[in-house]
Structure 1
Amino acid sequence: MEKQFSTRDISAGERFDYWHELVYRTYAPCSGRVSSVSGFNASLRTQEFGTTEISDVSSTGITYERKAFDVRRGPRDDFFVSFMVSGEGRFEQNGNSVMHRAGDILLYDSGRPYSYSYDQAYRSILMRIPRPIASSRLVDVDRLGGVILSGGSPFGKLLGTLLGEAHNLATSVESDVLLQLSPSMLDMIAAAVRQGTGDTAADGAASRSKIEQIKRYLNAHMADSSLTLQQVAREQNVSVRTLCRLFAETGTTPMGWLQTRRLQAAYSAISERRVRSITDAALDFGFNDLSHFGRSFKKEFGVTPKSLL
């Protein structure tokens, strides 16, 4: 069911406070400011699209800032793909400072601090993707925050079209149909993001290139419950010590990273109804012990696998 919100019928002196509270509850805790409270206007249409949510946002000029404090207190941890329909704004995240112009696609991450400043009125269509679902399709999704895909590029154009059509479908198709369409739509969006960013915007350093190669190997073999550290090292032509060092530079271990990916893939498969049972999800993604799978899943996501059915 589509939800619609607007400041149009709110008194001028209360519009900004109303909107700020709405953004806080709908997306994530953040602070906002405007140059003129009396001249502020905004509207939001939001609709579930399977396991994701798609929104159509219009507003006069505004600045949002999500600080580390907001991230710690806010439960939302999602990945966003945003298509700028009109207007422009400056976005900063992960050390990136980019202009998001009409036709462009912006990737950002509510699990990390960011700031977004619109000097004038704008309209955007954005898709919110839960982190486990985004991470199951994109390697190192954490590094994509603050990346722009130009609207003039092939994959930027494709993403703009996909988001526009997803918005149209969300407002005209039954929810059970949207749930069936959602996995395919997400697959296309993820493929376009991978191609458009050069496979997660790798910085070209030798160690980064090597770890991305190893992660791709782990992704391809996540169903193999017998996979060992020694086997991974042998297949990737590195020593076990080097393998561990590469992952230590990112704050994790090879098998710890693999378990997280397995859990994210299971979360995505269960929530998108791509498996028949919790047992199938566990076995499909490398877990032979169902009790261990259930405990690990609850620890990672704060919910049980069964709650997603």
Structure 2
Amino acid sequence: MEANDQTARAMENHDGVSFDEWIQLVGNRFVPLTVSTIDPDGFSGSLRTRVVDGTCVTDIAASSHSVHRLPEAISDDDPHHLKLSMQLEGTGLVMQDGRSAHLTAGDVAIYDTARPYTLEYDGPMRSLVMIFPHSMLGLSANLVHTVTAVRLRGDTGIGRVICPFMQHMAEEMHLLDGVSGARIMRSAFDLITALLSAELHDSATREPWRVTLDAVAHYIDAHLEDAALNTDSLARAHFISSRQLQYLFQEEGLTVSGYIRQRRLERCRLDLEDPALASRSIVQIGQSWGFVDPSHFSKLFKATYGRSPRDHRLAFVDADVLPA
């Protein structure tokens, strides 16, 4: 979906939708999907949608139906996003990458729009579905792909803390508007990353080097403000060589410095969009996330987001309250 389409759908509600209407609403919403049901005449569906900070959050309730992301429908031009589905009522089945997750109320599963998947609901259901760029998570793509279509339980471990938060978010979707909504979404992604990390940690089949990469990524996020954060300091902190560390990131198609820069820029972008931080100068924001050279920070930001830090900030914060 293009950015202007997302804006147009920032607040969207559809109730009592017929199956033909459901196909139109769901079948090509973000990427092409095939939707089927055994009872088209008796079908009824509803959805409520909010778009917050590049993430679409949808509360879906419907009769029995199936959703298929078919291989022939996948194009390189489609947005490559992740989807997260949390079962609120009824049961669901999520299938991708040769795995299947049977979800009951409170359970979560994640899947990737760039590869085929299937969702099956054999009775009345309600789900909270989030679609978002992978960059919103503090985990590498290869790590996430090891937990697609895995049941993340809401009644045990860390899920008992995280899933109630998301259930409340579904019930109070009107709170996802404006600046408060952006803050709630940041918290949601921190919690989702924690839930996925817990699953990765508990998985007996994961490769040992992936544990190291996960730990390094978490360490980076916790030390972004340190201007001296680099390959050598990271390697020392994790008792491996710089060459080993570089190899870990190369396996993900990344560089250490590039990953650090990406995470710092993302933090700066969020701070520039926050009216609560309007009293802080752009230089202060850049320095707080490890950018010691204001000119270099400005060039990197514009190259990444298409406009200067100041212009980006003015799109979200009233100029009258900004520092001179």
Above 0.5 in TM-score? Answer: yes
Structure 2, unmatched stretches of 5+, are: 1-9, 317-324
Letter in 1 for 2:110: L
Identify the residue that residue 153 of structure 1 maps to in structure 2: 156
SS state of the match for residue 102, structure 1? coil
SS state of the match for residue 72, structure 1? coil
SS state of the match for residue 145, structure 1? coil
Identify the residue that residue 282 of structure 1 maps to in structure 2: 286
- Bigger shift: 31-40 or 178-187? 178-187
Please tell me whether the aligned partners of residues 37 and 64 of structure 2 are also in contact (alpha carbons under 8 angstroms).
yes
Identify the residue that residue 48 of structure 2 maps to in structure 1: 45
1:257 corresponds, among 247, 256, 259, to 259
2:108 corresponds, among 100, 105, 112, to 105
Change in CA separation of 1:91 and 1:65 when aligned onto 2, cut-off 3 Å: same
2:171 corresponds, among 133, 151, 168, to 168
RMSD of equivalent CA atoms: 3.5
Identify the residue that residue 195 of structure 2 maps to in structure 1: 193
Change in CA separation of 1:179 and 1:30 when aligned onto 2, cut-off 3 Å: same
SS state of the match for residue 208, structure 1? helix
Q: In structure 2, what is the Cα distance between the partners aligned to 1:256 and 1:297? A: 12
- Bigger shift: 189-198 or 261-270? 189-198
- Bigger shift: 184-193 or 281-290? 184-193
Runs of 4+ off more than 6 Å: none
Identify the residue that residue 233 of structure 1 maps to in structure 2: 235
Identify the residue that residue 295 of structure 1 maps to in structure 2: 302
Q: In structure 1, what is the Cα distance between the partners aligned to 2:115 and 2:285? A: 29
Q: In structure 1, what is the Cα distance between the partners aligned to 2:16 and 2:80? A: 24
SS state of the match for residue 149, structure 1? coil
Please tell me whether the aligned partners of residues 139 and 200 of structure 1 are also in contact (alpha carbons under 8 angstroms).
no
Cα deviation for residue 98 of structure 1 reads 1.3
Letter in 2 for 1:75: P
Cα deviation for residue 123 of structure 1 reads 1.3
Cα deviation for residue 155 of structure 1 reads 3.1
Identify the residue that residue 124 of structure 1 maps to in structure 2: 127
Please tell me whether the aligned partners of residues 282 and 293 of structure 1 are also in contact (alpha carbons under 8 angstroms).
no
Q: In structure 2, what is the Cα distance between the partners aligned to 1:269 and 1:215? A: 21
Identify the residue that residue 75 of structure 1 maps to in structure 2: 79
Cα deviation for residue 44 of structure 1 reads 0.8
Cα deviation for residue 210 of structure 1 reads 2.0
Please tell me whether the aligned partners of residues 49 and 182 of structure 1 are also in contact (alpha carbons under 8 angstroms).
no
Cα deviation for residue 84 of structure 1 reads 1.3
CA distances 1:133-165 after superposition (whole Å, capped 9, x unpaired): x32xx3236334323222321433333321222
Please tell me whether the aligned partners of residues 182 and 272 of structure 1 are also in contact (alpha carbons under 8 angstroms).
no
After the TM superposition, which residues 27-38 of structure 1 pair with which residues of structure 2 at under 5 Å, given as runs?
Answer: 27-38=30-41
Cα deviation for residue 199 of structure 1 reads 5.2
SS state of the match for residue 171, structure 2? helix
Task: Specify which structure has the bigger relative contact order, considering alpha-carbon pairs within 8 angstroms and separated by 6 or more residues.
Answer: 1
CA distances 1:19-57 after superposition (whole Å, capped 9, x unpaired): 122124544432223334333321112235677544221
Identify the residue that residue 208 of structure 1 maps to in structure 2: 210
- Bigger shift: 200-209 or 95-104? 200-209
Change in CA separation of 1:216 and 1:154 when aligned onto 2, cut-off 3 Å: closer
SS state of the match for residue 124, structure 1? strand
SS state of the match for residue 74, structure 2? helix
Identify the residue that residue 220 of structure 1 maps to in structure 2: 222
**Count, aligned residues:** 294
SS state of the match for residue 244, structure 1? helix
Please tell me whether the aligned partners of residues 282 and 290 of structure 1 are also in contact (alpha carbons under 8 angstroms).
yes
Please tell me whether the aligned partners of residues 106 and 153 of structure 2 are also in contact (alpha carbons under 8 angstroms).
yes
